[in-house]
Structure formats: C-alpha cells, structure tokens
Chains A and B, each alone.
Chain A
Amino acid sequence: MLKLEPVIWGLFGAGMMVGVLLFPAWLLVGTLAVPLGIAPAEALSHERALALAGSLPGRVLLAAAIALPLWAGAHHLRHLAIDFGGIARDALVGSLCYAVALAGTVLAVVAVVRL
C-alpha cells in the first residue's frame, strides 16, 4: 500500500476540496429544501435534473463529486481506525476502505455514463 500512498494522498486532498466546495449546496437544496417544499419542486424535476446532470460539464462534475470525496472519506476513516485501533489491522482496514472508494468510483463513472 505504501507504493500507492502518493496516489491516495492526491485523491484524498482533491476529495476534501471537492466535497467541501460542492456538497453544501447539494445538501442544502437537493436533500433539504426541495424535499421539504422550501424550494420549488420544478427546480429538481426529472426533466431539469436530467438536463443539468446529463450535460458534459454536469457529468464530469458529478463523477468528481461522487468519486473523490469517497477517497477522502476512506482515507480519513482509515487513519481514524489507526488512531483508535493501532497499526496492526491497517492492512485489512485500509484495504477495505479503499475497496469501497474504488467500487464507488467505478459505479460513479457508470452512473454518469448512463445519464
């Protein structure tokens, strides 16, 4: 895993930045304001959501917004596990965390291609 560390660090740093910049707006409008009726339902109607997400910039942004924060989250949780449980199980925990991030990345690419 040491050989992959620079790559994982790159994904981790990019994931923190992307997650911090993009998630608050999505959480505020997409998961709270629209479902609770504070924002107009037409704002995220199927037709408009598909038009926004299905454009080329939309697909690229969505793929990055899904995949990169998964790597950041996985890396954070791996290091939290080291702090709490020691280094002994790092190979297993680290592999598990990054496997989740890798699977999510593949699914994210497939999801935006399907749009």
Chain B
Amino acid sequence: MNIEPAIANRIVKNVLVSLLIYALPIVLMFLSFYLSGERPWKKNSNSAVNSQNEKTIQP
C-alpha cells in the first residue's frame, strides 16, 4: 500500500516549512545578540579560562 501522491506532496512542502521553523529560534537568538551587543559565548569561555587559571594557581 503506497502513500497517496497528494499526501506525499503536502508532506514535502510542510517539511521544507518545518526546516525554517527549526532555524527560527536560533536566527532570532543571534539577531537579539546582534542588536543588544551581547556575546554570551565569550563570557562563558572567559569564565572557563579564569576558572582554569584559578585551578593552576592554587597549590
């Protein structure tokens, strides 16, 4: 039993729209960072480096 062509076409179209929906929150997030000037990934890597330094300084 095969899938009806009309249903198959609708699935393909909807999957393409879904790919845009998946990307949307990520695109919006980076847009908000761009507008606000925030760089949270830098803060995170700095704190990681700092904590690494603290660990090496400690006897």
The answer to whether A and B belong to the same complex is: no
Chain A residues with CB under 8 Å of chain B are none
Chain B residues with CB under 8 Å of chain A are none
